[in-house]
Homo-oligomer: A and B are copies of this chain.
Amino acid sequence: MAEFLSLHDAVARYVEDGATVAMEGFTHLIPFAAGHEVIRQRKRDLTLIRMTPDLVYDQLIGAGCVKKLIFSWGGNPGVGSLHRLRDAVEKGWPHKIEIHEHSHAAMACAFEAGAAGLPLAVLRGYVGSELPNVNDQIKFIECPFTGERLAAVPSVRPDVSIVHAQKADRKGNVLVEGIIGVQKEAVLAAKYSIVTVEEIVDDLMTLPDYHPNACVIPGWAISAIAVAEKGSYPSYAHGYYPRDNRFYKEWDTIARDREVFTQWLEENVYNAGGQS
């Protein structure tokens, strides 16, 4: 049953050094507040999973929290590179990181399989791609009915998943709306889960626009809920605030330079308090 904790306490309790952590949200609802809390608590040796590392993992990598990255598209969407990710991969700053690289389809299927309690995902994928040459986590199986060769990847089963959502109610049930990405899958695939939310409402089911097939994660499938207003900024929360595309562009300048980045991190993360 979901426990209501401060973001500080939720991260302190569930994110251990060396853990495998998935912070999800496909462009939308990226859990930036939680990512910053992980940086502030100086977690180390994390294996991070995320389809699109985005700025949040660029920051975690630059801050030295990351040992390994499992991902499928590591750019700054519409802008260019993730310079902290590149610096770690190309030059080993602040230290070398290991990467396991997939396609989106494979990662999406791997999250789905993780939520479905399966050890593997099967897909029509990777045909002719050289990714299987450099990622030993991509194998091929034969369909026992048709003989067709199909790709297989291990399912995603993180120690902890962290997602951001619009609303939780007092029983811990969480509503996700808009671009829902792989958030439900991330939560269900993980051993523990932290959901940060924009706000707590009394009861989701009495909301005026509640929908019988809404994307809702019940409280009993979540470990901890923490309120984090604007918790996905500079990403966005459908119905709350828009994506700050300008900041995404500015990030290119900030992240390009180690010192500018370090200073940004100091001012905007380490010394930005957080909640306790």
- Residues of B near A238 (CB, < 8 A) are 212
A169 within 8 A of B: no
List the one stretch of A38-46, A59-67, A145-153 in contact with chain B.
Answer: A145-153
Cα–Cα, bound, A178→B214 (Å): 10
Stretch from A92-100, A118-126, A185-193 forming part of the interface with B: A118-126
Q: What B residues does A119 contact at CB under 8 A?
A: 143, 145-146, 148, 150
Q: Main SS of the interface on chain A? A: loop
State how many residues of chain A have any CB contact under 8 Å with chain B: 28
Q: Which of A158-213 contact B (CB under 8 A)?
A: 177-178, 180, 209, 211-213
A123 contact set on B, CB distance < 8 A = 118
CB neighbours of A139 from chain B (8 A): 144-145
Counting CB contacts under 8 A, is A134 at the interface? no
Asked, given contacts A213-B214, A214-B211, A215-B213, whether A145 binds B120 with beta carbons under 8 Å apart, the answer is yes
